[in-house]
Amino acid sequence: MTEAGDDGAQAFFKALRASFDEILAAGRGDPRLVDALTAQAFQTFDRNAEIQSEGQPDPACARGCDDCCCLHVSATAPEIFLAARFLRLTASAFARHGVDLCAKLSEAHAQTAGKSQQERFASCLMCPFIIGGACAIYSVRTLACRGHVSFDRDACRAAAAGEDAEALLSGAHRAVRSLVQSALQASLRDAGLDWSPCEFLAGLDRALRDEDCEARWLRGEPVFADLREDAAVAQDMAATFDALKAN
């Protein structure tokens, strides 16, 4: 990024952090807090990824293409609770079609638990939410899923088949995803909430099994602390958030 680009990214981060701060200040006791935070995160991502990717080639990603959906996905607590709510609300509708997404999730979590990112990709275990080649939770998919955009479908397919291939990914989507997720994490941390991301399936499995998980998170309990991905990275991020706040 150029210096101007860095300044722009920092200004974007600060403005977004302030907007998450406002949502958190206004809605700490509101059961719709998770909806408000994720709506802000997803809408900001979608709008800015589109702006930042102007002039780029069209993405190769399309419905029916699920080659990347065997990757490790990391997610923050609000993303996890939103997906948990979606799964609870849609369970009977999916059941009418003979699909039990919660059971599929439990099974997948049991198979992927403890696997590194590389081991998980190498094992080719698909995300449990792929149904007929499409994401069954598309409207509430994580920022990580939204930010993974490829320009080369053949390379994705080859990599998923275990070949030594690497697809060219959209840097614009990746950068916007990183800024939006970081701003959300910084605000959650400032509000005294568990903020560090964890593996999506592990967090979601817990949120579904423990009906009180979201309420405990809202009370400031570190409900996903033991699922935290990398304590050293979290420490570095916390220091960066503090430094940016002091600027």
Categorise residue 98: left if φ over 0, alpha if ψ from -120 to 50, beta otherwise: left
Secondary structure of residue 169 in the 3-state scheme: strand
Tell me which residues in 179-218 interact with ligand SF4 (CB under 6 A).
none
CB of 67 to ligand SF4, least distance (A): 10
Secondary structure of residue 196 in the 3-state scheme: coil
Does 135 contact ligand SF4 by CB under 6 A?
Answer: yes
What 42-51 contacts at long range (C-beta under 8 Å, 24+ apart), as own/partner pairs, is 42/143, 42/146, 44/16, 44/180, 45/143, 45/146, 45/147, 45/176, 45/177, 45/180, 46/146, 48/12, 48/176, 48/180, 49/146, 49/147, 49/149, 49/170, 49/172, 49/173, 49/176, 49/177
Does 129 contact ligand SF4 by CB under 6 A?
Answer: yes
Nearest in space to 166 (alpha carbons), one of 49, 71, 48 = 71
Does 73 contact ligand SF4 by CB under 6 A?
Answer: yes
Angle at the Cα of 139 (from 135 to 142), degrees rounded to 5? 80
Does 130 contact ligand SF4 by CB under 6 A?
Answer: yes
Does 45 contact ligand SF4 by CB under 6 A?
Answer: no
CB of 94 to ligand SF4, least distance (A): 14
Which residue's CB is nearer to ligand SF4, number 69 or number 87?
A: 69
Binding segment for ligand SF4 (CB under 6 A), chosen from 5-13, 115-123, 129-137, 158-166, is: 129-137
CB of 145 to ligand SF4, least distance (A): 3
CB of 232 to ligand SF4, least distance (A): 25
Secondary structure of residue 130 in the 3-state scheme: strand
Binding segment for ligand SF4 (CB under 6 A), chosen from 97-105, 128-136, 182-190, 218-226, is: 128-136
CB of 132 to ligand SF4, least distance (A): 11
Does 61 contact ligand SF4 by CB under 6 A?
Answer: no
* Residues found near ligand SF4 in the complex (CB under 6 A): 69, 73, 127, 129-130, 135, 137, 141, 145
